[in-house]
Amino acid sequence: MNVIEIKNVCVHYGAIEALCGITLDIAAGDYVAVIGPNGSGKTTLFKAILNLLPVSDGAILLYGTNSRQFSDWQKIGYVPQVSRQLHKGFPATVREIVASGLLSAKKFPRMIFKNEMEQVRRAMGWVEIEDLAERLISELSGGQQQRVYLARALVNDPELLLLDEPTAAVDPATRERFYQIVKDLNQKNGKTVILISHDGSQAGQYATKLAYLDKHLVFYGSFSKFCSSPEMTRYFGPHAQHLICGQHGSMEEKR
């Protein structure tokens, strides 16, 4: 089953073309890494999927329903870009931030009940932050905060996760562990994952598919096929294969 079907989609900001001619399908269980240069339309694509931006041409189907009519948003968890850490002393604990994700599914008056706290504990367990539950989120490192936001996106047990550069500005070891957690969510918990990354090499080695955007869809397929593709050489140059693709690139060269 296709979770998302994107059919010849274009998105404009006024007269400026942000994306055009995007066509791709994402199946249940896929883990797709979306890469591309700054300004290539990666975040724009996410916002169009979430119906936060109108498409000027084409259509996006979510679980078979046009995104403009789609209403079952609890199926989708979203972690947007975080531009900076919170100010010290921001008065919310990790548990409170994660629990706030429950409010999106409620009508006024929005209240969180005791029996719902098991969902909060489960989400914190998935991302390994149970021991941080009573800490103020503003006291945490950037990598820890990203796990909190991921837990908040998971608290309603969504089927699909959209993660927009979740490892930006964190150290390599933290980034590696985050990718492993997301891989486990995909493989062990059955979450379909679409992850925007500025690090195509690392993200690509975890993902089952890679989408390279540059306002148009340049490539969509497996990471290993990308490493041996003419698109790879055209965009990064003939000497960048080993740097970006690492072992995948070496394996393809031997073939």
* Residue 29 parent element (H or E): none
Q: In what order do the strands lie in the sheet with 57-62?
A: 16-27, 2-13, 57-62, 65-66
The residue with tokens 């896929």 is 30
pTM (whole model) above 0.85: yes
Using alpha carbons, list the distances in angstroms from residue 37 to 70, 177, 189. Answer: 30, 24, 31
Using alpha carbons, list the distances in angstroms from residue 245 to 131, 177, 201, 233. Answer: 36, 19, 6, 12
Phi and psi at residue 33, to the nearest 5°:
-95, 130
**Strand 2-13 versus strand 16-27 pairing type:** antiparallel
For position 203, what pLDDT does the model report?
80
DSSP conformational letter for 171: -
The answer on pLDDT for 16 being more than 60 is: yes
Query: Measured between alpha carbons, how far is 249 from 255 in angstroms, rounded to an integer?
Result: 10
Sign of the CA dihedral 97, 103, 109, 114?
Answer: negative
- Confidence tier at 11 by pLDDT (50, 70, 90): very high
Query: Measured between alpha carbons, how far is 78 from 86 in angstroms, rounded to an integer?
Result: 19
Of 48, 237, 247, 74, the residue nearest 159 (C-alpha):
74
The architecture of the domain spanning 2-221 is 3-Layer(aba) Sandwich (3.40)
Query: Measured between alpha carbons, how far is 105 from 103 in angstroms, rounded to an integer?
Result: 5
Per residue in 109-127, pLDDT (tens digit) is 666 666 788 999 999 999 9
Per residue in 161-213, pLDDT (tens digit) is 999 998 877 788 888 899 999 999 999 999 999 999 887 777 878 899 999 99
Using alpha carbons, list the distances in angstroms from residue 27 to 2, 84, 130, 140. Answer: 4, 33, 31, 35
